[in-house]
Each structure stands twice: as structure tokens, then as C-alpha cells.
């Protein structure tokens, strides 16, 4: 247990635990929805910036989600579709930066507030409401009782989950694009607008996320002495 007091060792224990955690039945799908919420949030944010109406966001028990956003032209459809997967990679990078600046407490406040806003304004299906409500309540209790040690660890857990999913979700997208190309994905929506093969679109999205994952590792992962 003495190793847990070493910041570097603790970080990599948390990272490895998160990699294992996302594949544990039921629990894994629950925590993967954190990344899904970021993904759908990217679609919503771009829709708002483009002046489109956000109809609803649904989160499902299989860790998937959908953002129903009105689209008035193909250019807006392209921008809304293209931001989903990169949002998770950028959020992972930003999360690690906040943690590197010792903003663990404010990071947990921020992500809790963000999900609470989505709960109030956009999430409409029953499972999604239950998930978001349980997430917000659990975080709010830790913040209220000032459990700073747990908050510190929790911030690292959230960052690692988003980081891991920003990579793994792209490999799932690649698999679907090549093995089941008729399945509707963000790559499909992008392909419909710019007329590139959805497989190539999936490769480009994966390359972007892997690049930012590399930057996260290079800038923020602690060195092992």
C-alpha cells in the first residue's frame, strides 16, 4: 500500500484499473458513458454554435448515445458530425492539463456541472436521466463533504476513462466501418457530405485521436524512474 503514496505509481495503477474497468460487465458500460456524454456533448456544442436546435440527447445502457440536433444544410451536418470523436480526445488532453495544474477539485466540479446542465436541458430517455442523476449526485456528495483525497483520485479516474475511451471507441468505429459498413455512424454522416469512403473517414478520425493521445502521454504522463 505504500506505493499508493507515490504519485507516479498511483497514476499508472489508476490508468491500468480504468482500462480493466471499462470492460467489466455492467460497471464498464456505466463508466464508459462518461466518455459517451463528452462525445454527444461535442455534437450539441457544435449545434449550438451553428444556431441549430438541440432536440434531445439519449444515453443507452450499452454505453452508446445519440444527439438529436436539427440540421439546416450539409455544411452544418458535416461540422456537427465531425466533432464527436475528437471531442473525447481533446477533453482527455484538457483533463490531464487541469490535473497537471492541480485543479482536481475544480475539474470534478466542472464535469459535474456540465452533466447536470445536460440532465436539465437535453437528456430525455429514462436510462439517460437515471445515469446522469446518479453521476451528479455521487459527485455532489463527495464535493459537499469535502472528501479531497477521493476527489483527487476521482479526477484522475475520469481523465483516464475519457483518455482510454477516446482510443478504444475509435477502434470500434474502424471495426464497424469495415465489417458492417451499412451501420449508421458519425463516419457515415461525414461520408455522406464529403463523398469520401466511410472507412477512410474512420481512419482519419482514429489518426486524430491517436495523435492527441500521444500528446497527452508526452506532456502529462509522469515519467517512470
Measured distance CA(71)–CA(108) in Å, rounded: 32
**Is residue 224 helix, strand or coil?**
coil
Provide, rounded to the nearest whole percent, the portion of the chain with pLDDT above 70.
97
CB 205 within 8 A of CB 170: yes
* Whole-number pLDDT of residue 25: 86
Average pLDDT over residues 78-83: 95
Average the pLDDT over 142-163 and give the result. Answer: 93
Average pLDDT over residues 208-212: 98
Instruction: Say what the pLDDT of residue 23 is.
Output: 86
pLDDT at residue 45, rounded to an integer: 95
Q: Does the pLDDT of residue 54 top 70, yes or no? A: yes
Per-residue pLDDT for 37 more than 60? yes
How confident is the model at residue 5, as a pLDDT? 59
- For residue 149, CA distances in Å to 8, 10, 103, 146, 153 come to 16, 13, 13, 9, 6
Least confident of 63-67, 108-112, 144-148, 153-157: 144-148
In the block, which residue shows the cell 456524454? 37
Per-residue pLDDT band at 2 (split at 50, 70, 90): very low
What pLDDT was estimated at residue 124? 93
Amino acid at each position: 500500500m505504500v506505493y499508493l503514496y507515490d504519485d507516479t505509481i498511483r497514476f499508472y495503477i489508476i490508468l491500468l484499473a480504468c482500462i480493466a474497468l471499462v470492460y467489466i460487465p455492467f460497471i464498464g458500460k456505466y463508466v464508459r458513458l462518461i466518455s459517451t456524454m463528452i462525445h454527444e456533448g461535442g455534437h450539441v456544442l457544435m449545434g449550438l454554435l451553428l444556431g441549430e436546435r438541440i432536440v434531445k440527447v439519449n444515453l443507452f445502457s450499452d454505453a452508446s448515445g445519440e444527439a438529436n440536433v436539427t440540421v439546416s444544410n450539409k455544411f452544418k451536418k458535416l461540422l456537427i458530425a465531425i466533432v464527436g470523436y475528437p471531442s473525447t480526445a481533446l477533453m482527455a488532453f484538457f483533463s490531464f492539463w487541469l490535473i497537471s495544474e492541480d485543479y482536481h477539485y475544480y475539474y470534478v466540479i466542472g464535469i459535474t456541472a456540465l452533466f447536470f446542465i445536460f440532465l436539465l436541458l437535453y437528456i430525455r430517455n429514462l436510462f439517460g436521466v437515471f445515469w446522469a442523476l446518479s453521476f451528479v449526485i455521487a459527485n455532489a456528495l463527495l464535493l459537499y463533504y469535502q472528501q479531497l483525497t477521493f476527489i483527487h483520485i476521482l479526477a484522475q479516474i475520469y481523465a483516464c476513462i475519457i483518455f482510454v475511451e477516446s482510443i478504444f471507441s475509435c477502434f470500434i468505429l474502424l471495426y464497424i466501418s469495415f465489417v458492417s459498413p451499412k451501420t449508421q455512424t458519425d463516419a457515415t454522416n461525414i461520408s455522406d457530405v464529403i463523398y469520401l469512403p466511410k472507412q477512410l473517414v474512420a481512419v482519419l478520425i482514429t489518426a486524430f485521436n491517436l495523435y492527441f493521445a500521444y500528446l497527452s502521454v508526452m506532456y502529462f504522463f509522469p515519467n517512470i524512474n
